[in-house]
Amino acid sequence: MLERLNQAMDHIERHLDDSVDAVELARIAATSEYHLRRMFSALAGMPLSEYIRRRRLTVAGAEVLAGSETLLEIAVRYGYGSGEAFARAFRTMHGVGPGEARRTGAALVSQPRLTFRLTVEGSSSMHYRVVNRPAFTVTGFKTRIPLIHSGPNESIINFVRGLDKPALEHLRQLSDQDPQGIIAVCDDLDPSRAEGTELDYYHGVITSSPAPEGTTQLPVPPGTWAVFTTSGPAPEAIQHLWRDVFTEWFPSNPYRSRPGPELLRTELSPDGTRADAELWLPVEREAAR
């Protein structure tokens, strides 16, 4: 997987002054566009589109300083429809406009070209199982929240604190399928997985019972799920588990992520500092290469 991903990075470099099609990048990486974007975000720490933008502005910055072409010619070559649009993007990344950078020879920001390598640590193993499930329904309380990569998500914390405790206990009693009990469900995530993008968050259960008043139902079609378990400090253990799944498990196994909700069952210690967690991710087998 990483070798094919690096071939896709080479393709980006050859087309910085041309259109870069994510579908073509996925074909080169021998995976789906959805999984490519998820993998890249996890490995690089930024969305694929942001990396391409930053690489273009890095190369464009060198040409601005070289002074051999007009700023408009450089802007058009790197996909900007006007000098104003180019100047705004240039200033956002470099902290200075292209005209001023050319006049003063200002220091610019450089986005290095990325190359992915597999680092084998061997210090721990990942516990998982693969489950084929028929269709099921999530029933719970729903809100729209921003994605947070590290640290507590205050939007989730405040939402859950505001829920009626008897209503939650009633929901818990309706749970009749795995994962059992109250679960956190994230759906409709932006493919880029960029921090701050929004997602649908459900706090509820998987049940075949009718939805209680005030709750929302999320029908989930049949499919394959990879189930991972972890135990450790909260919330770091859970956030690190998600990271490790995409940086270690997917590159080493013949599966890729597919669109669908992510399910998380968490049991906190009495003082709330540690968590035992079970993460369910929708997956599909990679096509034979």
Beta strands in 117-236 (DSSP E): 128-133, 136-146, 183-187, 198-206, 216-220, 223-233
> What is the domain-level CATH number for residue 275?
3.20.80.10
Q: Could you report the per-residue pLDDT of 140-165, keeping only the tens digit for each?
A: 999 999 988 777 789 999 999 999 99
Q: How many angstroms from the chain centroid is the CA of residue 173?
A: 32
83: its two tokens: 């000098």
- 100 with 136, same domain: the answer is no
Residue from 64, 55, 67, 66 nearest 87 by CA: 64
- 134 with 269, same domain: the answer is yes
Strands 183-187 and 262-268, by their bridges, are antiparallel
Percent share of the chain, pLDDT over 70:
96
Q: Is the pLDDT of residue 258 over 70?
A: yes
- 85 with 133, same domain: the answer is no
Tell me, yes or no, whether 114 lies in a domain: no
Q: Is the pLDDT of residue 182 over 90?
A: yes
Cβ burial 64-84 (10 Å sphere, 16+ → b, else e): beeeeeebeebbbbbbbeebe
> What is the domain-level CATH number for residue 50?
1.10.10.60
Q: Could you report the per-residue pLDDT of 185-230, keeping only the tens digit for each?
A: 999 988 777 788 899 999 999 999 999 999 999 999 999 999 999 9
Question: In the chain, how many domains are there?
Answer: 2
d(CA 238, CA 156): 14
- 261 with 155, same domain: the answer is yes
Which of 54, 70, 104 lies at the terminal end of a domain, its last residue?
104
Range of the domain at 191: 128-285
Tell me, yes or no, whether 250 lies in a domain: yes
Tell me, yes or no, whether 30 lies in a domain: yes
Tell me, yes or no, whether 252 lies in a domain: yes
Contact, 261 vs 185, CB < 8 A? yes
Tell me, yes or no, whether 122 lies in a domain: no
Q: Could you report the per-residue pLDDT of 49-64, keeping only the tens digit for each?
A: 999 999 999 999 999 9
Residues in the chain, overall count? 289
- 87 with 163, same domain: the answer is no
Residue 160: its pLDDT value, please? 93
To the nearest 10 degrees (0 to 180), the angle between helices 48-66 and 83-94 is: 100
- 41 with 80, same domain: the answer is yes
Which of 39, 69, 104 lies at the terminal end of a domain, its last residue?
104
- 198 with 269, same domain: the answer is yes
- 57 with 189, same domain: the answer is no
Tell me, yes or no, whether 113 lies in a domain: no
Tell me, yes or no, whether 152 lies in a domain: yes
Tell me, yes or no, whether 43 lies in a domain: yes
